[in-house]
Amino acid sequence: MTANLSETLTLLLIEDDDGDAFLVEELLKQAVAPPKIFRARSLEEAKAKLTSDIQCVLVDLTLPDATRLEALEEVLALAPDTAVLVLTGLRDVHVGVSAVQSGAQDYLVKQDVDARLLARSIRYAMERKRADLAHVRLVQAELTAKENTRLEGALLPGPLLRTSGIQHVTRYLPGSGGTLAGDFFDTVQMPDGSVHVVVGDVCGHGPDEAALGVALRIAWRALVLAGQEGDTLLRTLDTLLRAERKAPEIFTTLCMATISPDLSHARMRVVGHPPPLLVRDGVVTVVPGTPSGPPLGIFLDARWTEIDVPLGEEWTMMLYTDGLIEAAAGEREELGVDGLVDLVREHGRIDLDRLISHVGTLSDDLAVVLLGRRRT
């Protein structure tokens, strides 16, 4: 009966016995679309032929340079995403069972093979491998989601605000990879009524950068509550960054501001970071004098100029990471600061949800803090 292989496949047969190899090849010729078969007589020879084009490997467990499960382990290590079908002799059935337990998708006893069984076993092995890989991806996605949830709690905390006279809105969106990076923000109000806010971005992506962002965010809050500010606070963060980073090229940009107790004035340091946007009395501007100094983690003797920003009685200020201005928007390949200003002017005010809806796929994480004071 014709074997049930309806599409042309590419297989690798690892078999040192010419008679057994001939049998397998003859049986597969009976398929509707006979597969393309590469043969290797040893594990060493198989290494050169085991390319990404191979969709299924048929491997004998008794080879000149590997025996029993050793051969299987080598094949699985060389091709972790490829289906593997083990060939055994009558006296090695128990080894076939062990092979499946060790990672093979199925096993066949050579003496019992016919065309239908061989074709069905190859198809079964490939489908089972697809299911296994899908399950692994699902588990990884679930673990990533859980890890992101834990990290979000540390990276993106609730503000420590006591006054109702200030508007405070935050947004965070992960980049296209879906994994949190090192973007962070925080807001703290001191007993004298002053409001401290920070938005930061650790360069790079991944759990190490996210963990470093958590460390810097927590350190910033602790230092602010302890009364540190200005260059003293930044130098302490710089020391922490150098001690905790995994590689010397990792740096961090941030913008931090201290708003006066009467909410009419701000003192700001922009540390190699995108400039904040300010809407004051209906006029949209970029905070002048930015950046006020280099990122953390680059120069040991860095200094940062304090920027004085009069706010007035009615204002809105937006601090953000570069994920916002590096995103595409409309016909723009990259929004940029000028494009961001244009969007805000079109809207007449900073509406975060509307603003974010205008950007396309994010290549980087996006973190935004919006602070505002309305005329009473």
- CATH, residue 321: 3.60.40.10
The verdict on residue 93 lying in a domain is: yes
* pLDDT score for 153: 61
Q: Name which of 160, 165, 169, 155 is nearest 371 in CA terms.
A: 169
* pLDDT score for 361: 67
Q: Lowest mean pLDDT: which of 66-75, 258-267, 292-301? A: 66-75
* pLDDT score for 2: 42
At 320, the pLDDT band (50, 70, 90 cuts) reads very high
Domain housing 246 = 156-373
From residue 360, how far is each of 162, 176, 272, 332, 355 by CA, in Å?
Answer: 36, 10, 25, 10, 11
Q: Are residues 187 and 88 in the same domain?
A: no
* pLDDT score for 313: 87
Q: Are residues 295 and 335 in the same domain?
A: yes
Last residue of a domain, one of 85, 104, 136: 136
Q: In the structure encoding, which two tokens stand for residue 308, read together? A: 């004085």
- Coil vs helix vs strand at 222: helix
The verdict on residue 145 lying in a domain is: no
Q: Are residues 111 and 171 in the same domain?
A: no
pTM: 0.62
Average pLDDT over residues 8-34: 88
- Coil vs helix vs strand at 10: strand
CA distance 38 to 24: 12
85 contacts 59 by C-beta, under 8 angstroms: yes
Q: Where is pLDDT greater, at 330 or 47? A: 47
Tell whether the model's pLDDT for residue 200 goes beyond 70.
yes
The verdict on residue 147 lying in a domain is: no
Q: Are residues 253 and 115 in the same domain?
A: no
319 contacts 276 by C-beta, under 8 angstroms: yes
Q: Are residues 131 and 195 in the same domain?
A: no
Q: Name which of 311, 308, 348 is nearest 165 in CA terms.
A: 311
Average pLDDT over residues 199-209: 88
Residues 248-264 pLDDT 10s: 999 999 999 999 999 99
At 269, the pLDDT band (50, 70, 90 cuts) reads very high
Q: Are residues 318 and 227 in the same domain?
A: yes
Average pLDDT over residues 200-215: 88
CA distance 315 to 33: 71
Last residue of a domain, one of 136, 165, 199: 136
Q: Are residues 217 and 264 in the same domain?
A: yes
* pLDDT score for 67: 74
CA distance 317 to 167: 10
Q: Are residues 190 and 337 in the same domain?
A: yes
Residues 113-146 pLDDT 10s: 888 888 888 988 888 888 888 888 777 767 766 6
Last residue of a domain, one of 72, 105, 136: 136
The verdict on residue 142 lying in a domain is: no
Q: Looking at the 3D structure of the chain, how many domains does it have?
A: 2
Tell whether the model's pLDDT for residue 360 goes beyond 70.
no
Q: Are residues 83 and 216 in the same domain?
A: no
* End-to-end C-alpha distance for the chain, whole angstroms: 87
The verdict on residue 239 lying in a domain is: yes
E runs forming strands in the chain? 10-14, 36-40, 56-60, 62-63, 66-67, 83-88, 106-109, 167-173, 181-189, 195-205, 252-259, 265-271, 277-280, 283-286, 307-310, 315-320, 366-373
Q: Are residues 176 and 43 in the same domain?
A: no
* pLDDT score for 145: 65
